[in-house]
Amino acid sequence: MSPISIEVCVDSVHSAVAAERGGAARLELCSGLIEGGVTPSAGLIEMTRAAVFLPLHVMIRPRAGDFLYDSDEFETMQRDIAVAKRLGANGVVFGILDINTRIDVARTRQLATLARPLEVTFHRAFDMTGDLFHALEDVCATGADRLLTSGGEQTSLQGVATIARLVNQARGRIIVMPGSGVKPENARGLVAATGAKEIHVGLRSSLPSPMLHHNPRVSLGSIPGREYQRFRVLEESVRSLCSALADSDESLHERA
């Protein structure tokens, strides 16, 4: 097994089971991944928790869009954390910014305190801040356990140099976890370049819908044709990533 902890983002029971069988160490459960991920329903949390043994971290994001939340949205987040705790989640994942796109330390700390004893991950809202290195200190001040980041770039491969600096700056106070664009063919290089001990992956594959009738005249979303497409995490994709990282570790031991 790879010494690198692999968190897989899933949005269905099927994907959660596949990720567990493939060798994932932890699951992040979301809905609406096309929109960047929002809070999953209570039903999905409950069904996923019953289907897998892995640690399950639940996204707490009341809507798509920016990360500046009004009082009603903040109250929704608090209630969703309580639901996640009651349904057996092991952690929660959220991020709050202020109007100046800085970390909202006070409200983030309030949610982190509410979530205990669950683990807390501050998600890629971090990448939307103006100064990542100042933002890292703010996230540490919230009491979060983990930070998910692509280094302020679209993918973690593009932000690899910044992520390496963040890992060094963190000095073990918080886990810096690279995510976005991580695949079996690039994970080894990313881990080696950043010194990260955990990575976050999607690894979703597009599958055609089994529906027999398609109506090309109607689209219910912003991207035509998505009604006849499914995205799932495949067991073999996760296993391939785990193998790549395990092989990398064996190579390091052999050279030593």
> Quick check: 248 pLDDT over 70?
no
Measure the CA–CA gap between 93 and 81, rounded to whole angstroms: 9
231 contact partners, CB below 8 Å, separation of at least 6 = 11, 33, 204, 205, 206, 207
- Identify the burial level of 94 via C-beta atoms within 10 angstroms of its C-beta, where 0-12 means exposed, 13-18 middle and 19 or more buried: buried
Which CATH superfamily groups domain 5-255? Copper homeostasis (CutC) domain (3.20.20.380)
Residues facing residue 26 across a β-bridge? 7
> Quick check: 247 pLDDT over 90?
no
Q: Both tokens of residue 232?
A: 């799932």
For residue 207, the model assigns a pLDDT of: 83
> Quick check: 210 pLDDT over 90?
no
For residue 79, the model assigns a pLDDT of: 98
Q: Both tokens of residue 48?
A: 């996923």
> Quick check: 251 pLDDT over 70?
no
Q: How many residues does the chain have?
A: 256
pLDDT digits (tens, 9 = 90+) for 88-120: 999 999 999 999 999 999 999 999 999 999 999
Task: Give the mean model confidence (pLDDT) for residues 10-39.
Answer: 96
> Quick check: 1 pLDDT over 50?
no
The DSSP string of 154-202 is: SSTTTTHHHHHHHHHHHTTSSEEEEBSS--TTTHHHHHHHH--SEEEE-
Mean confidence (pLDDT) of the chain: 92
Amino acid at site 184: P
> Quick check: 226 pLDDT over 50?
yes
Predicted TM-score of the model (pTM): 0.92
Residues facing residue 213 across a β-bridge? none
User: What are the extents of the domains in the chain?
Assistant: 5-255
> Quick check: 253 pLDDT over 60?
no
The residue written with tokens 């390091």 in the block is 252
Measure the CA–CA gap between 160 and 166, rounded to whole angstroms: 10
> Quick check: 2 pLDDT over 70?
no
The residue written with tokens 């954390």 in the block is 81
63 by DSSP, 3-state: which? coil
